């Protein structure tokens, strides 16, 4: 019963993720692309919930749909020609874009096929935030702090770029 519901839910959200991702690329208006981005990111969060990664799911919504999409929308509204985009980029960019996209696809497929994907016998039905917090401040303290340092450098860089003098 629960298994069946989980499977149905997975396929529903998997399809909306893919549809949303395609919509981001194919929509004619930038604003619609941003809307599709919300769908794609939200469905990803739902898939995290199905994998009982509650902390990751809420952070996904908080950071991506909550902050990043809103920044994107804000930027779209600030651009002068906010309404229409040319349907296709000029010729040279199309070829380059296709090559990069195909290379990325090959890389991702290779990673999926060669990676060992250890599966737990059963989905962990317990809160994850405690273990994540423990991990961040003990085992993975150095990478965690390093990531903060990178963000700090990016922040200072942004302020330097924005300064007018």
Partner 1 sequence: MTIPSILNDLIGQIGALLRYLLGLILPEGLAVALVTLVGIGVAVTFVALLVMSQIWAERKVIARIQDRVGPNRVGPFGLLQSVADALKLLTKEDIVPSNADRLVFALAPLVVLVPSLMIFAVLPFNWDATIARLDVGILYVLALATLPTIGIVMAGWASYNNYTLLGGMRAAAQLISYEVPEVLSVLPIVLLAGTMSLWGIASAQQGAWFILAPIVGPVAFVLFFTAGIAEINRSPFDLPEAESEIIAGFHMEYSGMRFALFFLAEYANAFSVSAIAATLFFGGWQGWILPGYVWFVVKTYLLFLVMVWIRGTLPRLRYDQLMNLAWKIMLPLALGNVLLAALLKNAGLMELALSFGWLGMIVLLAINLVVVVILFAGYNRLFRAVRQSAGLPLLEATQPAAQAARP
Give me the residues that bind partner 1 (CB under 8 A), please: 1-2, 31-32, 35, 38, 54-55, 58-59, 61-62, 65-67, 69-71, 73-74, 77-78, 127-129
Minimum gap (Å) between residue 18 Cβ and partner 1: 20
If we measure between CA atoms, which residue out of 8, 82, 10 comes closest to residue 50? Answer: 10
Minimum gap (Å) between residue 39 Cβ and partner 1: 11
Whichever of 102 and 158 has its CB closer to partner 1, that residue is 158
CB count within 10 Å of CB 42 equals 19
Question: At residue 162, what are phi and psi to the nearest 5 degrees?
Answer: -85, -15
Minimum gap (Å) between residue 72 Cβ and partner 1: 10
Whichever of 55 and 140 has its CB closer to partner 1, that residue is 55
At 118, which helix (H) or strand (E)?
none
Minimum gap (Å) between residue 142 Cβ and partner 1: 21
Whichever of 10 and 54 has its CB closer to partner 1, that residue is 54
Report yes or no: 14 and 50 within 8 Å, Cβ to Cβ: no
Angle, CA of 132, 135 and 140, to the nearest 5°: 130
Whichever of 16 and 65 has its CB closer to partner 1, that residue is 65
Counting Cβ atoms within 10 Å, is residue 1 exposed (0-12), middle (13-18) or buried (19+)?
exposed
């Amino acid at each position: 019963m629960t298994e069946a519901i989980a499977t149905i839910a997975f396929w529903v959200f998997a399809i909306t993720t893919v549809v949303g991702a395609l919509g981001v690329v194919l929509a004619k208006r930038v604003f619609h692309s941003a809307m599709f981005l919300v769908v794609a990111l939200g469905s990803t969060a739902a898939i995290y919930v199905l994998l009982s990664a509650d902390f990751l799911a809420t952070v996904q919504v908080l950071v991506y749909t909550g902050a990043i999409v809103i920044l994107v929308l804000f930027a779209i509204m600030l651009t002068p020609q906010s309404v229409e985009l040319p349907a296709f980029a000029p010729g040279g960019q199309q070829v380059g874009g296709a090559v990069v996209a195909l290379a990325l696809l090959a890389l991702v497929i290779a990673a999926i096929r060669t990676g060992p994907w250890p599966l737990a016998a059963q989905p962990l039905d317990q809160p994850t935030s405690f273990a994540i917090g423990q991990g961040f401040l003990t085992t993975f303290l150095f990478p965690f702090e390093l990531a903060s340092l990178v963000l700090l450098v990016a922040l200072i860089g942004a302020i330097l770029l924005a300064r007018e003098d």
